[in-house]
């Protein structure tokens, strides 16, 4: 797969301090500079620690004492910044419309990474914000269902994968807990800069060299939570006309091929032509729609199929989804179906590569799967893997991860005792 097809040049460079730059050059495109730090929530020693650090990093610095002054400096030139924490990374992204603002962008990124204030008054304010985030999380039903699924699929989920933490852990946290996480993880060897837009490697490498992060020759140590086969069902009673249901699987992906296989399988549950929607909506009129979600982390993933129905129909919906999955897992994907899946998945991925910012996310996905930190790996490896995928491999991935013994179910809404007992009987 050739980057020239997309008008992109891919280059890698290692700075003297050991930090890697991965550049996706694109003429005429705005510039995004992302510090991708191996410091996500799976490195927590306290639930919510990494996410709290993310908040503090962008809350002010020596030269920009408030979050408002940080953002205003960029907004005045048409730029912006944002920050996000996932299980693998804390990612700080600074965006500018043109490289004439490069010095400002790198200066602000440098301030965020090396000169964050960590003031006690700001800390208490951010603690209140995070506690509000935790309260709001339950209002987002898809997110709530997926988080509940992870509670089932992962031992010690709260510590390893719960980015926000809990009310108890966040309330008890102090500044020293946050600064400890920063000192242990914001280092040159754990930081990769992913850059996209209209800029050359010589320019960006010279600019990023001003960021002096402490050296740490240790590789990021990743502990994968053990499989939890004790409980496979969570039901939360909620008075509602519609009951939400999510059926999911933990998929401990240890290769890019496994991950790409899951992308193809995800397309089996997307769109009006999927067997999932055909049977549940068009043949039986049980649901209006549905979707499949794939959360991808280093060495593992979580896959969920979600829909909603009236409470009295949930038993039939549950059985139908499991039957579709079980039949596909046993019989495998047919040749004609497989070719359609490849076309759909490649098209979906190509649509996702339309902006410089989206190239950052694609490159970060590759970083998750680049075990040996090879300079040769890049975002187009996913497209190449889609094209090279064969029907034998996809069927092996189905058999590996989608056994009914590995199925979990989360329900939010109203269920009869008969339906509860039925689901428990199937899953245990």
Count: domains in the chain = 2
Q: Whole domain around residue 382: which residue ranges? A: 233-427
Same domain, 237 and 204: no
pLDDT tens-digit map of 250-280: 999 988 999 999 999 999 998 888 888 998 9
What pLDDT does residue 11 have?
Answer: 93
Same domain, 189 and 252: no
The alpha carbon of 290 is separated from its chain's Cα centroid by a whole number of angstroms, namely 20
Residues in the chain with pLDDT values less than 70 = 1, 217-221, 228-229, 371-375
* Domain harbouring 124, CATH code: 3.30.830.10
Quote the pTM value: 0.92
CA dihedral in degrees (234, 239, 245, 249; nearest 10)? -20
What pLDDT does residue 1 have?
Answer: 59
Same domain, 155 and 199: yes
Q: Is residue 217 part of a domain?
A: no
Tell me the backbone φ, ψ of residue 144, rounded to 5 degrees. -60, -45
Same domain, 305 and 203: no
Q: Is residue 389 part of a domain?
A: yes
Q: Is residue 218 part of a domain?
A: no
Same domain, 187 and 292: no
Same domain, 138 and 255: no
Same domain, 186 and 243: no
Same domain, 62 and 199: yes
Same domain, 248 and 102: no
pLDDT tens-digit map of 288-327: 999 999 999 998 999 999 999 999 999 999 999 999 999 9
Same domain, 280 and 157: no
What pLDDT does residue 224 have?
Answer: 75
Tell me what the pLDDT averaged over the chain comes to: 92
């Amino acid at each position: 797969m050739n980057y020239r097809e997309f008008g992109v040049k891919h280059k890698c460079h290692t700075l003297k301090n050991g930090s890697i730059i991965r550049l996706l050059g694109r003429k005429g495109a705005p510039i995004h500079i992302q510090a991708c730090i191996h410091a996500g929530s799976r490195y927590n020693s306290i639930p919510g620690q990494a996410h709290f650090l993310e908040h503090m990093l962008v809350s002010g610095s020596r030269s920009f004492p408030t979050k408002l002054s940080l953002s205003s400096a960029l907004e005045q030139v048409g730029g912006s910044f944002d920050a996000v924490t996932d299980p693998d990374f804390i990612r700080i992204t600074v965006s500018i419309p043109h490289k004439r603002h490069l010095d400002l962008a790198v200066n602000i990124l440098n301030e965020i990474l090396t000169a964050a204030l960590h003031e006690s008054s700001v800390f208490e304010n951010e603690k209140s914000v995070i506690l509000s985030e935790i309260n709001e999380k339950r209002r987002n039903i898809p997110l709530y269902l997926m988080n509940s699924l992870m509670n089932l699929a992962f031992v010690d989920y709260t510590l390893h994968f719960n980015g926000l933490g809990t009310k108890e852990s966040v309330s008890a946290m102090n500044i020293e807990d946050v600064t400890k996480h920063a000192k242990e993880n914001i280092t040159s060897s754990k930081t990769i800069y992913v850059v996209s837009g209209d800029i050359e490697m010589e320019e960006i490498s010279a600019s990023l060299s001003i960021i002096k992060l402490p050296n740490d020759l240790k590789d990021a140590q990743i502990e994968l939570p053990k499989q939890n086969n004790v409980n496979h069902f969570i039901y939360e009673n909620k008075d509602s006309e519609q009951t939400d249901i999510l059926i999911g699987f933990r998929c401990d992906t240890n290769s890019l091929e496994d991950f790409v296989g899951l992308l193809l399988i995800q397309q089996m549950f997307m769109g009006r032509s999927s067997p999932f929607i055909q049977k549940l909506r068009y043949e039986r009129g049980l649901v209006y729609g549905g979707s499949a979600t794939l959360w991808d982390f280093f060495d593992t993933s979580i896959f969920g199929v979600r829909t909603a129905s009236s409470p009295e129909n949930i038993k039939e919906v549950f059985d139908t989804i499991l039957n579709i999955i079980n039949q596909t897992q046993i019989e495998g994907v047919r040749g004609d179906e497989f070719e359609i899946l490849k076309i759909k998945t490649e098209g979906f991925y190509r649509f996702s590569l339309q902006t410089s910012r989206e190239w950052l996310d694609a490159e970060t996905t590759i970083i998750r799967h680049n075990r040996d930190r090879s300079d040769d790996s890049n975002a187009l490896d996913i497209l190449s893997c889609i094209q090279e995928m064969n029907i034998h491999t996809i069927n092996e991935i189905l058999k590996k991860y989608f056994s009914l013994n590995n199925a979990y179910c989360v329900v939010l809404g109203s269920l009869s005792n008969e339906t509860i007992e039925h689901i428990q009987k199937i899953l245990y």
